[in-house]
Amino acid sequence: MTKTALITGVTGQDGSYLSEFLLDKGYEVHGIIRRSSVDYRERIAHLEGTPHFHLHYADMSDSMSLVKLVGKVQPDEIYNLAAQSHVQVSFDAPEFTADVDAVGVLRILEAVRTNHLEKTCKIYQASTSELYGKVEEVPQSETTPFHPYSPYAVAKLYGYWIIKEYREAYDMFCCSGILFNHESERRGETFVTRKITLAAARIAQGKQDRLYLGNLDSLRDWGYAKDYVECMWLILQHETPEDFVIATGVQHSVREFATLAFRHAGIELRWEGEGIEEKGIVTNVQGDNVQCTKGDVVVRVSPDFYRPTDVVNLLGDPSKAKRELGWNPQSTSFEQLVELMVAHDMKKVAADDAAAEIRKVNLAEFLEKGIDK
């Protein structure tokens, strides 16, 4: 029997990989999109027009649109990935973040109940390692207490608990994947990894002078998004509805990520100074085409990218997912992840036409001035 999946957040990094994954498994895939005045469907453009992939307008802030859509699609599985997902932006737009990331989860659950699908439709909720926030233990597992540390994390905490509540109150098959940071060539350009890989490529190709970052000491457990979407599906295929930590179990700092990314772009860096005075200085370049020279300061710290409260020590313990889902947390290593992102961005920056490149450099300049959204 063909299964039908509904994905909220289908235009995002994870939504695009999950769509590919489910289409490969023979699913009928439906995705929710929002109206926008510009084209934002780049990540799923290659899927549009294929027979088993369908898009519908709806919005996480619009209950009626969700009730109608769930009734029309009659999904076997819902993957609730839609969110205002940028932590720093949640300090600027906390109410919107709460509406979409917290109440939005409730709206999905109620849309399923309103359509009397609670016994047949399974729901995956995109929970997050940000729930651990100001961490109470390292590494973090399914039993680690939560201590959310941003408006984003507080909203996601509601999502986590309302999923658990509906599982217990109405016997629904709904679960959270507590996913640690996962990145890719499709990662949004203002998350730190992609900001770094794009800047390294632009600096190597002479299209940007300098990269401005915030807290270089922040530690993350970074995995590859393509590996992580498989887990979302595995969680819904598990015999019982349960929550799972999905992580690699390996931790690196923002500084380490930047050092390795610049190395793959042909630029060796050394770090000098501390805090706001810290700089990344070129010590060596590899390849004739690298457009910077020894002694250039290519990375600086800007307080614009500091957060009012920052989560600085995330490291996941994926033992349960490994044991119960048979998932391999290290199929893509940190080194491979950085390499594939830089290789992608080196090609992208080289291929962008001149006009697009001017826009990108202007954007990069804006970013440098502190508009990190």
Nearest CB to ligand NAP, comparing residues 205 and 251? 251
> Using the rule CB under 6 A, is 180 a contact of ligand GDD?
yes
> Using the rule CB under 6 A, is 195 a contact of ligand GDD?
yes
Could you tell me how many residues of this chain bind ligand GDD (CB under 6 A)?
25
> x/- binding map, residues 50-89, to ligand NAP, per CB under 6 A?
---------xxx-------------------xxxxx----
In this structure, are residues 81 and 104 in contact, taking their beta carbons and an 8 Å threshold?
A: no
Q: Which among 271, 299, 254, 264 has a CA at the least distance from the CA of 285? A: 264
> x/- binding map, residues 108-137, to ligand GDD, per CB under 6 A?
--------------------xxx-------
137 classed as catalytic? no
Residue 268 to residue 250: CA distance in whole angstroms? 23
Which tokens go with 10? 């289908």
Residue 201 to residue 163: CA distance in whole angstroms? 41
Residue 112 to residue 114: CA distance in whole angstroms? 6
Q: Which residues pair with 359 in a beta bridge?
A: none
Nearest CB to ligand GDD, comparing residues 172 and 203? 203
168 classed as catalytic? no
60 binds, among ligand NAP, ligand GDD, none (CB under 5 to 8 A by kind): ligand NAP
Q: Which residues of 321-346 are buried (b: 16+ CB within 10 A; e: fewer)?
A: beeebebebeebebeebbbbbbebbb
Q: Three-class SS of residue 43?
A: helix
> Using the rule CB under 6 A, is 32 a contact of ligand NAP?
yes
Residue 113 to residue 169: CA distance in whole angstroms? 12
Catalytic residues: 128, 130, 152
Residue ranges that bind ligand NAP, judged by CB under 6 A = 8-15, 32, 34, 40, 59-61, 81-85, 100, 126, 128, 179, 181-182, 188
Where along the sequence are the contacts to ligand GDD (CB under 6 A)? 85, 87-88, 128-130, 180-181, 190-192, 195, 213-215, 218, 220, 254, 305, 307, 310-312, 314, 372
